[in-house]
Chain A
């Protein structure tokens, strides 16, 4: 339902009684109140344009600039990621669920698929990822550039991501059980239990320096000192 009025400034404004747009004002010119969103002219046409479009997430320039500043992606990279996001978002709800991720065949056959998907979901929120979180997590895998400041994709942040793969309960330490669980994910049924136990014990023994039977983040970093993390954990993002 819509109704139009003219404001004192002569602009034509439209009221939309539609809860779909209540979630976020479309641009900084639009005004949101409790039951309606008063759209500015540009956004009005934007909605009209996008009526054929299933997705209800619309990016505007401020969003893109904010994302660029936060993540370091360029504008066209963000556009590309956005179209990828919408193509994964089957329901057009503007957010992704775990099933949407696991619909990607190459992720479904990856032994660590579930852990990777889990990394996108912040605890405490409901089970959906919005575009901002999507891009923020992916920003960890941007290649490191000497010329730029690398807020999200420095070596430490990349290692932190890898650490989170092991750390199932987010307590900042990898216990033996957690390591065992990840090993289970990686090898499936193909190694017997006691062998896995011994592998886990050995790994912890080698990495644990302060003898608390857990691997902390610092110990993890030291263990991966010789690995070329910058190369291994970087992805080419096409423009």
Chain B
């Protein structure tokens, strides 16, 4: 009795599996898939009603908070700026200046504009899957639970095995077909045969996920050229291949997948490359151009976003595909999250496939958009933006301009330093007193000049930035000394305190450079004081320069480019003259090794003075004076030197200072 019941159940089970197999594989033509989807929709509506009923009981209507608070300022990734408002009558740093940064940070914790694109989105109702159950953390009703259990059983024990079966057979089909087609001679027949067979095979395999895709506007179906689409999951290319044949571009994987890829390239002209091989990557552009110039070949499928996005928005397109110069066919893909989420958000391939196979179905809409070409005045970046907005609009997704790489990698460290730079600019403008205003335009603040932001964000070129900065620094230094034409002892503005009073805390009225400059002019050139000032001046200007070049130092060695920058700064004629003076003086006296008494930034000079290889600017100075000036300047900034310069410094401690002084003279000149 029990045995017969058991065998009966087994047979029922197997029949259901086979039935589903037939539906899945061939059901598209028969319209059975659509009926399945509709049935599911009704089920979901039922469950949603239940949930809503219980929710109403649970949440009392809260008082409507009319939030009169403005949006907190978000930190932009392309245009760093100072957050906050500068008042006209008070500038410079205040305690309350950090408030905007704090608020911006906390609002980023609550909701930020990057992660929202990459987090799987919950479907609006509950679709009887536990994985979408994050909000329904309360037991709702027994009936719903029963429904869920039935659904669980169906998904895991009926659908899953049959889908696996379909997958295996489908892959075998694909394998065999590709071999067969690959054996045909190249020509138009091969392409036709390949087209029909590949569409059929992919459709079969797609049945393993119960894929139900609706293709709109088939008149715009791409015939050649490049097809771009938004990217949500690894199966995007498969979805598109169920309706039209494409040639893929991608990197060769290893293992079975790689084998499949090579197999596929026998039957059609796919473009595979090795990602690690740089030469091949530049080769890809050439191959793309060749491929698109032949109108007989099938269109190439490219996903310019680069990463998988969660289908609520479209992130920045990379310009590579748009530079080829041929016709672009945009395609918009939009998934329906109620049935199953295909978004790839974790690296576990096995669980991804498992989740997809135990969802109800994968339902999506595909729109073919009319072909576009690049306008005569358009750059490829603008063209990419244009295409992106058409895709986003058609698919009903947000058009977001963040960089897709932020999903994988943290943002560049420069951005933080640029925000720091902006804040520094705000701090460094001196506190203007209420009454007196300086008539000259050269209000003495040390102007870290506006870096061109777009060059930074596009090219990530530190060198560009720091070059400009150094030029400006040097210009500024020239300006205030040479052009101001002040008599010794005359002050620039009322706020410049003469040296003896500067110990009282009234700092940052005029910058120290100006003070130094005036000192230099006013003091005699013979005494040691003048030298000290000069040295201090050189050091502080190098420090500023070093400070703003710090990023560059992170990435490059102290080399010729860097020397040139320092030279720019020091090329203030008067300063050079004084510097020579100093050198002469020093060469007469005994010069000892400095050996690390300068901190950080001034080590640039130190290291340079000690060996040729580091090639920095060198000023060998005697120990006593170092200590004096050292107490004045204590910079905690860390200059990341490579360890080899450190080693060399320790090695070569010959007190051959005279040679070195001459050497630095040569460097300077």
List chain A positions with a Cβ less than 8 A from chain B: 42-43, 45-46, 48-53, 55, 58-61, 74-76, 79, 81-84, 86-88, 101-113, 116, 138, 141, 143, 145, 147-148, 161-162, 165-166, 182-184, 186-195, 197-199, 201-203, 205, 207, 215, 220, 223-224, 227, 229, 231-238
Contacts and interface: CB of A to CB of B under 8 A. Distances in A.
A36 B107 CA distance: 40
Nearest to B74: A106
A190 B75 contact: no
Contacts of B636: 184, 193
A109 B411 contact: yes
Interface string B57-76: 01110110101111110110
A189 B548 contact: yes
Nearest to B553: A189
Contacts of A60: 137-138
Interface in B65-123: 65, 67-72, 74-75, 77, 92-115, 119, 122
A86 B134 contact: yes
Contact of A138 (B110, B138, B419): B110
B143 interface: no
Given A60-B137, A143-B68, A235 B95 contact: no
Given A201-B507, A232-B100, A49 B109 contact: no
20 contacts: A50-B130, A51-B130, A75-B59, A103-B410, A104-B115, A105-B410, A106-B75, A106-B105, A107-B112, A108-B416, A116-B109, A162-B102, A184-B636, A193-B636, A199-B508, A203-B94, A205-B505, A227-B99, A235-B69, A235-B106
B460 interface: no
B90 to A, nearest CB: 10
Nearest to A198: B507
B419 A109 contact: yes
Given A105-B112, A187-B423, A195-B512, A50 B133 contact: yes
Interface of B: 58-60, 62-63, 65, 67-72, 74-75, 77, 92-115, 119, 122, 129-131, 133-139, 145, 148, 406, 410-411, 415-417, 419-421, 423-425, 427-428, 431, 448, 505-508, 511-512, 540, 543-544, 546-548, 550, 632-637
Given A192-B540, A235-B107, 4 more contacts: A143-B69, A186-B427, A189-B637, A202-B507
Nearest to A184: B636
A162 B105 contact: no
B93 A203 contact: yes
Contacts of B107: 141, 235-236
Contact of B95 (A42, A49, A203): A203
Contact of B139 (A46, A111, A112, A203): A46
A212 to B, nearest CB: 16
Contacts of B94: 203, 223
Contact of B106 (A83, A116, A184, A238): A116
Nearest to A41: B139
The 7 closest A-B CB pairs, nearest first, are: A198-B507, A188-B420, A52-B130, A190-B424, A106-B108, A74-B62, A187-B424
B75 A101 contact: no
Nearest to A223: B95
A143 B96 contact: no
Contacts of B103: 141, 232-235
A51 B137 CA distance: 12
Contact of B131 (A53, A103, A161, A203): A53
Contacts of A215: 95
A191 B95 contact: no
A107 B108 CA distance: 6
A59 B505 CA distance: 55
A203 B427 CA distance: 12
* B68, B420, B544, most chain A CB atoms within 10 A: B420
A187 B102 contact: no
Nearest to A200: B93
Given A75-B59, A235-B110, A109 B75 contact: yes
Contacts of A83: 122, 134-135
Contacts of B632: 194
A109 B547 contact: no
A107 B72 CA distance: 13
Contact of B420 (A48, A74, A186): A186
A2 B417 CA distance: 55
A110 B130 contact: no
Chain A, interface SS category:
helix
Contacts of B58: 61, 75
A170 to B, nearest CB: 17
* B133, B423, B548, most chain A CB atoms within 10 A: B423
Nearest to A158: B99
B419 A84 contact: no
A190 B131 contact: no
A46 B94 CA distance: 52
Nearest to A232: B99
Nearest to A205: B505
A38 B46 CA distance: 32
A233 B99 contact: yes
A173 B215 CA distance: 66
B111 A101 contact: no
Contacts of B96: 162, 223-224, 227, 229, 232
A107 B111 CA distance: 11
Given A111-B101, A113-B105, A207-B95, A192 B65 contact: no
A51 B148 CA distance: 13
Nearest to B93: A199
A202 B508 contact: yes
B106 A202 contact: no
A203 B96 CA distance: 11
A108 B410 contact: yes
A49 B130 contact: yes
B411 A108 contact: yes
A104 B427 contact: no
Contact of B635 (A46, A53, A188, A192): A192
A191 B424 contact: yes
A229 B637 contact: no
Nearest to A55: B134
A234 B69 contact: yes
Contacts of B97: 186
A211 to B, nearest CB: 13
A201 B431 CA distance: 14
A51 B131 CA distance: 8
A198 B448 CA distance: 19
* B58, B98, B148, B637, most chain A CB atoms within 10 A: B98
Contacts of A88: 115
Contacts of B63: 147-148
A145 B91 CA distance: 32
B547 A192 contact: yes
* A103, A111, A234, most chain B CB atoms within 10 A: A111
Contacts of A205: 505
Given A51-B130, A223-B95, A105 B69 contact: no
Nearest to B65: A145
A105 B635 CA distance: 29
A186 to B, nearest CB: 5
Contacts of B137: 46, 50, 58-60
A110 to B, nearest CB: 5
B148 A49 contact: yes
* A55, A102, A189, most chain B CB atoms within 10 A: A189
Nearest to A138: B110
Contacts of B635: 192-193
B424 A188 contact: yes
A119 to B, nearest CB: 9
A53 B636 CA distance: 48
B69 A236 contact: yes
A238 B540 CA distance: 49
Contacts of B98: 112, 162, 165-166, 182, 186
Contact of B101 (A110, A195, A207): A110
A110 B62 contact: no
